[in-house]
Structure 1
Amino acid sequence: MWETKININEVREIRAKTTVYFGVGAIKKIDDIAREFKEKGYDRIIVITGKGAYKATGAWEYIVPALNKNQITYIHYDQVTPNPTVDQVDEATKQAREFGARAVLAIGGGSPIDAAKSVAVLLSYPDKNARQLYQLEFTPVKAAPIIAINLTHGTGTEADRFAVVSIPEKAYKPAIAYDCIYPLYSIDDPALMVKLPSDQTAYVSVDALNHVVEAATSKVASPYTIILAKETVRLIARYLPQALSHPADLTARYYLLYASLIAGIAFDNGLLHFTHALEHPLSAVKPELAHGLGLGMLLPAVVKQIYPATPEVLAEMLEPIVPDLKGVPGEAEKAASGVAKWLAGAGITMKLKDAGFQAEDIARLTDLAFTTPSLELLLSMAPVTADRERVKAIYQDAF
């Protein structure tokens, strides 16, 4: 039983701080949120989005009337790309400062929400910029209030204290984690996600899957993260095939979104380790690489490495996608191949070489895993020693 792996004498933090409005029709709660923001004096905001999803999903049709009704004026920054950059954050921050924005509203998946969290910090630190923030040159303790309208079922960022933004010239993709960037309110409405393409549906769900594989096996895993992990895997295994076959199925989207939400809460508590620490260099070097796809390429190799240290946890957790695991160290290969088979069923069969990486890139990727700000901390959370040889072995196995 996995319970035997928990040290009951180690004190754990249990985090669940953001108020999330969840369910079909939750987008209508934006009117209540806007009213409250107006009452609190947050009557000038910056809206941060990507280039099209905020409209294509229908979210914009609810947000603009709510802001207008409650006499909230806004400026709109719509240039956030997948794997957002510090330059985008600084550009949005400059516009927000000049406008006098007092709060931030993000509409999108992880990229717009993480960019918005970053802008919220910089609004409270007018002498700082995004490079300083993501090179950990200061520790923020305050940020402008954040509203997150989530448009994907993968990142969990709408309910956690994390954000990720790239520094292109250094090929860094660091993560930050501060209490001040929990969104005050978030909206999770599965009706906004029915137009997600099939590949993105798979990629974001694999992101959520990776969150719990790591959160349930890290050095700070707790019964809370493990229970959340088990339910996340069960829901993804059951509802991802349905969403891929029937994209407009609101029940499937609902439960994939719920899985993503609780996975976000799980890693907010249990942190991350190998797959995220090793994926960030991949999409920093190749920004066009979807984060979830990169994670999927790495996951079987990571499972192979960590399974011997956490077999009881992983056997129970992975049972819906890799049945008949006994929870003994010697079945690491079986677990890894089972995960790879399940990923293939979701359409994820690519290896690093298929994404354009060369064998000689492995040394650089390994260096980036240890030199990118914040990633070495993630590696230190792994259940096995995360030295350069092990990191290199994971990249080679995924190649």
Structure 2
Amino acid sequence: MWEKKVNIYNVFELRCKTTCYFGVGAIEKFKDITEWFADEGIRKVIVISDPVAYKVTGAWDKVEKFLKEKGIEYVVYDKVTPNPTTTQIDEATKLGLEFGAQAVIGIGGGSPIDTAKSVAILLEYTDKTGAELYEGKFIPKKAKPIIAINTTHGTGTEVDRFAVASILEKEYKPAIAYDCIYPTFAIDDPQLMVTLPAKQTLYTTIDALNHITEASTTIARSPYSILLAKETVRLIATYLPQALSNPNDLNARYYLLYASAIAGISFDNGLLHFTHALEHPLSAVKPELPHGLGLAMLLPAVIKEIYPATAEILAEVYEPIVPGLKGVPGEAEIIARKVEEWLFAMGITQKLSDEGFTENDVPKLTHLAMTTPSLGLLLSMAPIKAEQEVVERIYRNSLRRMQ
């Protein structure tokens, strides 16, 4: 396998619109970023994280050290939760404005980095709120510089233009996508992932798997999004079991992190459709539900629906997990069951009914999927028409394990 011929300690630059420092030891590149701050006249920054990630990963030790060495002042907002809210975004923005922050540093997984992206916008649009941003009440054209220090291998948010937040009072979980929130710099260092609990290792990796499942099959798909999808599945199938059995395996973390990054680039190009559009209502209604778990519970039913329209693509993309498919529509049931079996084998055995959802929730979830701001755009990208009965059927077929 050629992967053994790559020096995982060679920190290279993964170039997309974001300059991403990638590899074991990449966190040391934050020193270069502070030099860029100084060159740009940035003397004050706000750091956004959750209560744990920035400290337990060791990222903060380096970040604080290099900020102090350059004399860059900072303030920390560390109240971000999984499935972050517009209330948290507003709180962090207020803190940043009072401090006079000129840039935003997000340390963590998708939740802190998405929050950082949102705050970067609102620091420029001081008369706006997080809810107004996520309900599409205005279209931002600018944001403060964003630095994304990633601590999970799933979201890809460190290299893309997307962010997500929940408006709790409306049970909305919209997404935004603006060019102004591509991070200027990102750090992807596998060393920061070794403390990830097994469940988070699973859930974040399945997020990446869903990114490419959708990006390779939207109506906006391209050879690029499909190529990245194929490599993402190959890497996940190879290295997820290794990371689960040995959390300290830097080689496995490296390739799961690389899979996550290229999956982020894949859906930045190919966009998303059913699985994300239908998961957002799940974790909007139950904010404690991990995003990746919600996606995993929906994935088999989504594949079953879209496979007849995208059989040639998914048969090739999923070859490492479901070998031997011919790429014909009649295999939809086979691949759906096999993917579900693989998820169970990896350790994700829950379905929607295990998380408290019932048949009675399907109409509400369907309504939210079809009315939450931005989710209609995702549904419009699906390879089959996203009619109400299709959405309902996916939810129903995700309540319990396939028979």
Which residue does 2:74 correspond to in 1?
Answer: 74
CA contact (8 A) 1:17 1:159 kept: yes
Q: Which residue identity is paired with 1:109?
A: G
2:208 equivalent to 1:179 = no
Q: Provide the C-alpha distance between the structure 1 equivalents of 2:205 and 2:148, rounded to a whole number of angstroms.
A: 19
- Which residues of structure 1 form unaligned runs of 5+? 1-14
What residue is the counterpart of 2:166 in the other structure? 166
* Structure 2 unmatched runs, 5+: 1-14
Q: Deviations over 1:354-382 (max 9, x none)?
A: 00112211110000001100001000000
1:349 and 1:311 map into 2 onto residues whose CA distance is: 26
Mapped to 2, the partners of 1:211 and 1:94 lie a distance apart of 33
* Number of the residue aligned with 2:157: 157
The separation in 2 between residues aligned to 1:322 and 1:191, in whole angstroms, is 31
2:48 counterpart of 1:31: no
- The equivalent of 2:192 in structure 1 is 192
Structure 2 Cα separation of the partners of residues 123 and 199 of structure 1: 34
| DSSP-derived class of the 2:359 partner | coil
The structural deviation recorded for 1:16 is 2.5
Q: How many percent identity over aligned positions?
A: 66
Q: Spell out, residue by residue over 1:150-186, the C-alpha distance to the aligned partner (whole angstroms, 9 max, x if none).
A: 0000000000000000000000000000000000000
In 1, Cα distance between the equivalents of 2:53 and 2:77? 13
In the alignment, the residues of structure 1 paired with residue 256 and residue 184 of structure 2 have an alpha-carbon distance, to the nearest angstrom, of 23
The answer to whether structure 1 residue 95 and structure 2 residue 129 are counterparts is no
Count of residue pairs brought into register by the alignment? 385
Give the equivalent residue in structure 1 for 2:140.
Answer: 140
Q: In structure 1, the residue corresponding to 2:287 is in which secondary structure? A: coil
Cα pair 1:281 1:368 within 8 Å, conserved: yes
Distance in 1 (CA, whole Å) between partners of 2:301 and 2:205 is 18
Runs of 4+ aligned residues of structure 1 deviating over 6 Å after TM superposition are: none
- In 1, Cα distance between equivalents of 2:16 and 2:377: 22
Q: Distance in 1 between matches of 2:16 and 2:297?
A: 30
1:380 match: 380
The C-alpha deviation readout for 1:310-338, integer Å capped at 9, x for no partner, is 00000000000011110000100001001
CA distance in 2, matches of 1:375, 1:174: 7
Q: Distance in 2 between matches of 1:53 and 1:161?
A: 22
Partner Cα distance (1:39, 1:166) in 2: 36
Amino acid paired to 2:214: E
Distance in 2 between residues matched to 1:105 and 1:16, nearest whole Å: 19
SS in 2 for 1:344: helix
- Could you tell me how far 1:42 is from its partner in structure 2? 1.3
What's the CA shift string for 1:75-101, capped at 9, x where partnerless? 100000000000000000001001100
- 1:259: which partner in 2? 259
Matched, 1:345 2:342: no
Q: How does 1:115-134 map to 2 (within 5 A)?
A: 115-134=115-134
Partners of 2:201 and 2:64 lie apart in 1 by 27
Q: Give the match's secondary structure for 1:360.
A: helix
User: Could you state the TM-score of these two structures normalised by the residue count of structure 1?
Assistant: 0.96
- 1:286-329: CA deviations, max 9, x gaps? 00000000000000000000000000000000000011110000
Moved more, 345-354 or 247-256: 345-354
Q: Is the 8 A contact 1:195 1:247 kept in 2?
A: yes
How many Å separate the matches in 2 of 1:43 and 1:234? Answer: 43
Aligned to 1:12: none
Whether contact under 8 Å (1:38, 1:71) holds in the other structure is no
Q: Distance in 2 between matches of 1:131 and 1:42?
A: 28
Residues 193-342 of structure 1 correspond to what in structure 2 (within 5 A)? 193-342=193-342
Q: Which residue of 1 aligns with 2:52?
A: 52
Q: Which SS does the other structure have where 2:123 is aligned? A: helix
Q: Distance in 1 between matches of 2:325 and 2:170?
A: 42
The letter for the 2-side match of 1:178 is Y
Quote the residue 1:390 is aligned against: 390
Measure, in 2, the Cα distance between the counterparts of 1:196 and 1:189.
13
Q: Is the 8 A contact 1:308 1:328 kept in 2?
A: yes
SS of 1:310's partner is helix
Tell me how far apart the structure 1 counterparts of residues 106 and 241 of structure 2 sit (CA, whole Å). 29
What secondary structure does 1:264 align onto? Answer: helix
Amino acid at match of 2:221: A
Cα distance between partner residues in 1 of 2:57 and 2:96? 25
Task: Judge which range, 345-354 or 300-309, deviates more.
Answer: 345-354
Shift of 1:192: 0.5
Distance 2:183 2:200 in 1: 24
Q: Distance in 2 between matches of 1:200 and 1:96?
A: 29
Match of 1:282, as an amino acid? L
Please tell me the residue identity of whatever aligns with 2:110.
G
Counterpart-to-counterpart distance in 1, 2:282 and 2:382 = 19
Q: Structure 1 residue 390: deviation in Å?
A: 0.1
Q: Return the offset for 1:393.
A: 0.2
